[in-house]
Structure 1
Amino acid sequence: MNPKTPTPKQPYHHGDLRRALLDAAEAELAEKGVEGFTLRGCAKRAGVSHAAPAYHFKDANALLTALATIGFERLNRSMTSRQHAERGDPRQDLVAAGVGYVAFARDNPMLFKLMFGSERPSSEDSDLVQHASGAFATLVNGVRDIRGDDPMADADGLKDIAAAWSIVHGIANLLIAGRMGFLQPLLERDPETVLADIIERSLPQQ
């Protein structure tokens, strides 16, 4: 090789750069919130140059969109894993899904806020829509199993869906905002049983 010939620049390589950036983004979000989130901060946390994220994400909002998509996937998994554990009774399955919803929010407060309280993720992103719709379908199916019909087909069913969602989302928001300190002693002893009891109390009695 002619020593005067410049060596061609190699493509940037960081193993799984996309995964590394998403991990860094989640940590950055948890520490700084949506308001303090920057692409440069994620790059620094991932140990890459500030230009490296452009290989996968055009800007910070694109990275947040991907992170929110992962959040909805995890949320649905948190709901359905508890439903499957209950097995059988539709009412208890819906309560279990609600416990999974609140548990996810408590474990991932900043990610939960990103998913439901920020306009930075793109609502038109197909992956985000798919996973958000999957989580919503788990709720709708839970209401359907209790009612025995399609709750999306009439006004009462839509109200039942809205009521079930509002209950768990309200509990989640109050807990992560620190507005239910009076419950803390109970939650420290047996959080999932306490959450299940609260959700059960809020549903219409049979």
Structure 2
Amino acid sequence: MTAVPTYHHGNLRATLLDAAERSLRRYGADQLSLRELAREAGVSHAAPRRHFPDRQALLDALAEAGFARLDAQLRAALAGAGAEFGPRLHAVAAAYLRFATEDAALLELMFTAKHREGADRLVAAAAAPFGLMNELIEEGQAQGVLEPGDPQRAGIVLYATLQGIATLINGSLVASELLDGVVETAVDQFIRGSRRG
């Protein structure tokens, strides 16, 4: 009989987070188990507790990593989009929707965890990607492409539009092959509806 391996793992935290994300995609947050993740990583069932004292700490770490990844993907899309506002907004919207449709379970966890009492680190982590979207709205207003006003309010409308599209795709109410065209139409309509003058 083989003994359960003891804690001798190079980067157990990253290994556990990777395994947890795979499990999240397959089975949802309710099925995540530190014990099962330890078995998958080939370490003792107590080893994960060195990094995650409990299941909630693991879920929070997953959500925090998700916000960091979303932020990196939005910034990469923006960096490659040039200086003109329209293409910049299209690039960010497309990047957000790719994340929201490819990592739907993670996105749901991110927003659920962020609204839990005491989730200050997650609120701070969420500020980066959503701050970027807010800055983009301000940029459009400064360029005269979007009507002046409260950028947060315009951002909420944009976010609600994108999240609605993601919900339709994730619920198989709209075919995923239509995503790019739907994003383009949604962003064009947002810009037209918010246009100054």
- TM (norm. structure 2) is 0.83
Look up the match of 2:136. 142
Q: Which amino acid aligns with 1:75?
A: L
The alignment status of 1:23 with 2:10, answered yes or no, reads: no
In structure 2, what is the equivalent of residue 8 of structure 1?
none
Which AA in structure 1 matches 2:126?
A: A
| Cα distance in 2 for residues equivalent to 1:43 and 1:123 | 28
Distance in 2 separating the partners of 1:121 and 1:14: 33
Gaps of 5+ in 2: 1-5
Are 1:50 and 2:45 matched, yes or no? yes
Q: 181, 185, 188: which is aligned to 1:198?
A: 185
* Mean CA deviation greater in 86-95 or 67-76: 86-95
Task: Tell me if 1:104 matches 2:91.
Answer: no
Unaligned runs of 5+ in 1: 1-10
Contact 1:28 1:41 (C-alpha < 8 Å) held by counterparts? no
Deviation at 1:156, TM superposition (A): 3.6
Please state whether the residue corresponding to 2:30 is helix, strand or coil. Answer: coil
Matches within 5 A, 1:1-206: 12-116=7-111, 118-119=112-113, 124-148=118-142, 156-181=150-175, 184=176, 186-187=177-178, 191-192=179-180, 194-205=181-192, 206=195
Q: 1:199 to 1:171 in 2, by over 3 A?
A: same
Alpha-carbon distance in 2 for matches of 1:165, 1:51: 41
TM-score (norm 1): 0.79
Question: Following superposition, which runs of at least 4 residues in structure 1 exceed 3 angstroms of deviation?
Answer: 119-127
Amino acid at match of 2:190: L
Distance 2:122 2:18 in 1: 17
| Worse-superposed segment, 107-116 or 67-76 | 107-116
1:69 Cα offset (Å): 0.7
Give the Å deviation of 1:195: 4.5
Q: Are the equivalent residues in 2 in contact too, given 1:21–1:46 (CA < 8 A)?
A: yes
* Cα separation, 2, equivalents of 1:42 and 1:22: 9
Give the Cα–Cα distance (whole angstroms) in 2 for the partners of residues 155 and 71 of structure 1.
31
Which residue number in structure 2 is paired with residue 3 of structure 1?
Answer: none
- Mapped contact 1:98–1:199 kept (Cα < 8 A): no
**Are 1:61 and 1:121, in contact at CA under 8 Å, matched by a contact in 2?**
no
Letter in 2 for 1:59: D
Asked which structure has the greater CA Rg, the reply is 1
How high is the sequence identity, in percent, across the aligned residues?
31
Asked if the contact 1:57–1:63 (Cα under 8 Å) also holds between the matched residues in 2, the reply is: yes
Distance in 1 separating the partners of 2:120 and 2:39: 29
How big is the alpha-carbon RMSD for the aligned residues of Structure 1 and Structure 2? 2.4
